[in-house]
Amino acid sequence: MAPRILLARHGQTEWSLSGRHTGRTDIPLLDEGRRGAKLLGERLHRAPLDGLPDAEVRTSPLRRASETCAIAGFGDRAQEWDALMEWDYGAYEGLTPPEIKQRQADWFIWRDGVPDGETLQQLSDRADEVIAWAHSADRDALIFAHGHILRALGARWLGLDVSFAARIRLDPTSLSVLGWAYGDPAIERWNDVGHLAG
């Protein structure tokens, strides 16, 4: 079986709820985020995934992702990896899009990037590093991380420019699967939050 990457976005936080760009600020989950992480874990442990016993698990070291991983029941198997940290938003850390547009009216993050932070190329390179790791062994990978780095992974898995990530949004505590179709990289599932209805 060709390896897949299962992507789990962290649960809801105060800043994700308010739309603030949360890069390297290490904030905890809200109660809603912890509930979502529990439901995600239950889904990952039910058939057909059955806890992904052969998958290698990695998580961003930032609290909101590692806490989601632990609550979902994978903390004891997970290895923290800095490559999975969220985009470093530099001067735009903690700001909402409307606040940023007051400074730069036509700003679009997937085109313009952020001042004093990580460039689009650096984000793309990190995504490529994660994909190369996923291809390095014949086993699935389960990743707990953040909205923008996971969207970058989706774009780069398809071989597209990282800017394509603008067109594949992700909700908190969503599950996505990067896999294969006709021998080529494909998105098997994206932004699936069906488990949150439980």
- The amino acid present at 71, given as its one-letter code, is I
Please determine, for residue 19, whether its predicted confidence score (pLDDT) is greater than 80: yes
Other C-beta atoms lying within 10 Å of the C-beta of residue 14:
13
116's CB contacts (< 8 A; 6+ apart) are: 90, 91
Q: pLDDT tens digits for 122-169?
A: 999 999 999 999 998 899 999 999 999 999 999 999 999 999 999 999
The answer to whether residues 59 and 69 touch, using CB atoms and an 8 Å cutoff, is yes
Q: How confident is the model at residue 17 (pLDDT cuts 50, 70, 90)?
A: confident
Please determine, for residue 1, whether its predicted confidence score (pLDDT) is greater than 60: no
What is the spatial distance between Cα 32 and Cα 13, in angstroms, rounded to a whole number? 8
The answer to whether residues 150 and 143 touch, using CB atoms and an 8 Å cutoff, is yes
Other C-beta atoms lying within 10 Å of the C-beta of residue 191:
17
Catalytic positions, please?
Answer: 10, 86
- Over its C-alpha atoms, the chain yields an Rg (Å, rounded) of 16
The domains of the chain, with CATH numbers, are 5-197 (3.40.50.1240)
Mean pLDDT of the chain: 94
Half-sphere exposure of 168 (CA within 13 A, CB side): 27
Nearest to 148 by CA among 56, 85, 81, 78: 85
